Structure 1
Amino acid sequence: MRAASPAARPRTSRETRTLPALAPGAVEVPFVIRCYDEVVAHDTTWNEHSHPFHELLWNQRGASTAVVGARVWTITPTLGLWMPAGTLHSGSAIAGTWFRASFFGLSGTTSISDIPVAVEITPLLRLLLERLGEPRLSAASRSVTEAMVLDVLTPSSRELLLNVPVSDLLRPIAEAVREDPRDQRTLANWAAELGVSPRTITRAFTAETGTSFGRWVAAVRAQHAVGLLTRGWEVEAVAERVGYRSASAFGAAFRRTTGLTPGTFRTR
């Protein structure tokens, strides 16, 4: 049986959480790495904020998003996001998402990047971070485990990142495709609707997103697909929902975009 579509998902109340914007080191923290996790009971959004420490975001279950400016990352059980201290960001997660956050104090740690970067949550890294969450971990074991985390924590070349165009020309396209990834309008279709040449749209997409219209649409579909896969949807149903005629076509496009297979993200 196929999973229910998003429209059929039971309505839940929405919660908005407000956090402060703090500069790096603005608050002294007495830890090297501290872990936090929560299953959100409601569709939840976090306002734009920043932390005085570095943060690694990842999920035990489900998919969530983090937004920095016009860049939108999808966070999953296999792809996390490193958020450097002081970086303004907002976020969202749907009800039932089990998210995890690991906080890295500025003293005793070195940032793996000065800008947000994806981090592959390998089985080893997952085990180490879960171990740090054990309440009875001895000080000696904690120190060894923290050192191992810092040793294996590296940026990943794979990421679910979308650069969202904000110009008046491209905004209608971005809003339509993000609202419904099944939208089949081509570059020529959009050019005719907007009264410009296809070349004008092509140049604008390259300038604003760093990629072509076709690759940008594929990235939107991949991000939307991950959210469905992590909620247990069958691959065939996801392919149809995000605008592909077959599961094989969807799989090929998904691998080209993310470097991973749809099955990597599917919750069983």
Structure 2
Amino acid sequence: MDENTVRALMSTVELIATTLDAAPDSWRDQLQAIRNITASLQLLDETPNEGRKQWQLPLISVFQRVAYADADNGGVMDIANWCLRQTLTLLHVYPEDVDLLTLVGQNWLLRSQKSLASIHHAERGSSSSGASQGPPLSQSEEQRLATAAAIEAEDRLHTADYVEARGTLLPAIEYLKRAVDAAQTQEKLTGSLLSTAAEAYMSLGNVSSPRVNRQYFHDALVYLRTACEIPNYDLPLHLQQYLDEYGPLDSRN
């Protein structure tokens, strides 16, 4: 690809990013321009080239941002799949690149959001409809209901949304862990990366059996504590609340 083509390509990417910053809901307006590019552009690198990587990374990052702008409803999968293919291609050339590992992990994490949103919606509906008013229950009745609820929760783990969520979150934590490990080795660790990894581990814990999810929650807390030690970084509110609630208890185990 010649310099003029690269320059024009990057101008388009920068314009898309600037437009999204100013009007996040405009992502649909960017789809045709992105599809025009992805229809003919395939990254086929086999040897490292820092000059090429300097425009390839922002391009994939911006396109992935558009692809998952509405992740709860499934995202734009043709563009999301293109981003994943290109990133994995580059990862063969740069296997320890923190940004590439993060992009792959984020792609899988964002891919899980549709099934996670469906699970959250179903559980919220179940909890509200299950609320009952009546006389206090006996201890044996409470135990019976608790046992039934545990069996029902275990059964839900085998339904489609839970299976799909785990299937996308397992590669998410794999690549995000690799990204964190590489960033630590290269002294590039950021609070944002740690928070993203923690989010993936928490989500996987929430859709896994209590027999195995304790380690996922533990790893999430370790990442959140480490993120708190990053200068000038503040955890997102929901992660700070999670750390405040579960972190002190976990640290005593």
Higher percent of residues as helix? 2
Give the structure-1-normalised TM-score. Answer: 0.29
Q: Which of the two has higher C-alpha Rg?
A: 2
Give the structure-2-normalised TM-score. Answer: 0.30
Higher percent of residues as strand? 1
